[in-house]
Amino acid sequence: MSKLIEVQEYERIDGPVIAPRDRIKNFNEFHKHLSLEDQRLQGGRCLECGVPFCQYGDTIGAMVSGCPLHNLIPETNDLIYRGAWEQAYHRLSITHGLPEFTARVCPALCEKACTHGLHTEPVSTKENEWNIIEHAFNEGYVKEITPEIRTGKTIAIIGSGPAGLSAAQQLNRRGHKVTVYERSDRPGGLLRYGIPNMKLDKRIIDRRLKLMKGAGIDFICNVNVGVDVTAEELRTKYDRVILCTGASQPRDIDAPGRDANGIFFAVDFLSHVSRHLMDMNYDHEELISKQPFNFGPVKGKNVIVIGGGDTGNDCVGTCIRLGAANVTQLEMMPEAPAARTYDNPWPEWPKVKMTDYGQEEASAIWGADPRVYQTTVKEFLKNEDGSLRSAITVALKQELDKKSGRISMVPVANSEKELPADMVLICAGFCGTQSYISDGFGVKLDVRSNISTEDGKFKTSVDDVFTAGDAHRGQSLVVWAIAEGRMVAKEVDEDLMGYSNL
């Protein structure tokens, strides 16, 4: 059968997904694989475009279109179609060292730019990648490169999230001695403590860490750089330092009653649940039944999630698994259209309504999407003991500022409503790197409180100190953090050696 026939006759088929009412019984991953033969045919749907926007990874219409890692997607799709799974893995590995993470949590920028998506369903590039890397692990193809010759250069990486892991992997392969500092009890950063287990099983992180440690990368946990060890000590001890600390300063809600007991930042909530799940050796039943959390059990509570992004959705899914009586998700912005509008053509990122797993689960249980659009909290009401009782919400409308030309969301008069609330989770985004890190190293910040560098560069205002990931670009995607980790590694290598073969 020719590939042309594959393209013309085979529709997109995704791997099976466990139904919402079944998957909420635990914190396991719920996406399943197609057979290798079925996935092979999905690779055969690729058109091998003359201009493959799927691998472009740059700005079109003020938003990124295609893969920031510039994975050579038509090549890997063709290898899948030919059944050359080992070759497909090695092709993917040239541009991407951590595909098991993006294959699970990336929103698939590549698929949104796929030429197939102009008229029909895009190629299932994300699932192709997932099958490539998991087949490679199962067959023993995945090896972490251990350099035969060491350069004698030492590098400290602060933060073990996707940017830190990506930079460490590349620099170690080059032959430098890399030490990664992590303030939490386990490495992984955002991957481990910002993403729930049902999206990324933490044992997948441990599988990769075992290889990285075996290749000579050192991980030092429970050390908060800037508190337990000073910036000056690290700069004296190591030839270069890379700040991959993330944009970990959560944006708060300024409303009366904010001090009520029962209001938490989403990142603290998700981290707490993940930590207990790992401490309980992934015993989902025990976690759900006992709920030994500092904030008390979620079961039976009315929960309001403030924020409509990925983190808000993760909070919805987590609260459902913990038995919340009800979850309402508030979004400041208007509901997006169901399909592209005329001013949002392919291959721009589609500004359309997207429903994720948490919202699907809420709809399956309670019969309605949990999202309430163009709404925010005006005030929190407390009981006499200081515990949260309810939230006063207010509707918002778009209004054009004639001076600045910007559209802002402003309250609608007399639109207040009272919602019962035993718990509120704030997912309002992040405000850049935490000040004790930037102050400790003395690095300059940009107007968004991110660590500043020259455009397209990763060296900070301080000699021998570099940065990458969310600390550098602000809150963003895992795939961007991994891409920046690779780019900063090359820049550091050039700075140390005068050239780079990364």
Query: What is the per-residue pLDDT across 141-168, written as a single tens digit (0 to 9) for each?
Result: 999 999 999 999 999 999 999 999 999 9
Q: What are phi and psi of 470, to 5 degrees?
A: -65, -30
The CB density around residue 17, as the number of other CB atoms within 10 Å, is 12
Residue 2 pLDDT > 60, yes or no? no
pLDDT digits (tens, 9 = 90+) for 174-210: 999 999 999 999 999 999 999 999 999 999 999 999 9
Residue 3 pLDDT > 70, yes or no? no
Calpha distance 40→3 (Å, rounded): 11
- Superfamily per CATH, domain 3-139: Alpha-helical ferredoxin (1.10.1060.10)
Cβ within 8 Å of residue 462, ≥6 positions away: 441, 442, 443
Identify the pLDDT of residue 446: 95
Tokens at 111, concatenated: 């698929």
User: What average pLDDT score do residues 209-215 get?
Assistant: 98
User: What average pLDDT score do residues 377-402 get?
Assistant: 96
Tokens at 125, concatenated: 């590039």
Residue 261 DSSP label: B
Domain 154-249+431-497 is found in CATH 2.40.50.140: no
Identify the pLDDT of residue 285: 95
Identify the pLDDT of residue 155: 98
DSSP string spanning 431-488?
A: -SS-HHHHHHHT--B-TTSSBP--TT--B-SSTTEEE-THHHH-S--HHHHHHHHHHH
Angle between helices 125-139 and 73-81 (to 10 degrees): 60
Calpha distance 244→485 (Å, rounded): 8
Residue 220 pLDDT > 60, yes or no? yes
Residue 483 pLDDT > 80, yes or no? yes
Identify the pLDDT of residue 1: 39
Q: Which residue spans of the chain are classified as CATH 3.50.50.60?
A: 154-249+431-497, 263-426
Q: Where are the alpha helices (DSSP H) in 299-412?
A: 310-321, 357-366
Instruction: Select from 220, 214, 245 the least CA-distant residue to 450.
Output: 245
Cis amide leading into 16 (omega within 30): no
What is the CA 98 to chain-centroid distance, rounded? 13
The CB density around residue 60, as the number of other CB atoms within 10 Å, is 16
CATH architecture classification, 263-426: 3-Layer(bba) Sandwich (3.50)
Confidence category of residue 403, pLDDT binned at 50, 70, 90 = confident
pLDDT digits (tens, 9 = 90+) for 288-320: 999 999 999 999 999 999 998 999 999 999 999
Q: What are phi and psi of 288, to 5 degrees?
A: -70, -35
pLDDT, the chain, mean: 95
Calpha distance 7→259 (Å, rounded): 58
Residue 122 pLDDT > 80, yes or no? yes
Higher pLDDT, 47 or 496: 496
Confidence category of residue 251, pLDDT binned at 50, 70, 90 = very high
Q: Which residue spans of the chain are classified as CATH 1.10.1060.10?
A: 3-139
CA angle 178/67/44 to nearest 5° reads 120
Q: What are phi and psi of 216, to 5 degrees?
A: 110, 5
Element (H, E) at 110: helix 109-112
What is the CA 5 to chain-centroid distance, rounded? 37
Instruction: Give the chain's length.
Output: 502
Share of the chain above pLDDT 70, in %: 98
Q: Tell me which residue has tokens 């009366």.
A: 256
Confidence category of residue 4, pLDDT binned at 50, 70, 90 = low
Contact in structure between 417 and 393 (CB atoms under 8 Å): yes
Residue 450 pLDDT > 80, yes or no? yes
Burial of 141 (0-12, 13-18, 19+ CB in 10 A): middle
The pTM of the full predicted model, rounded to 2 decimals, is 0.96
Residue 264 corresponds to which amino acid?
A: F
Tokens at 428, concatenated: 């309002």
User: What average pLDDT score do residues 249-253 get?
Assistant: 92
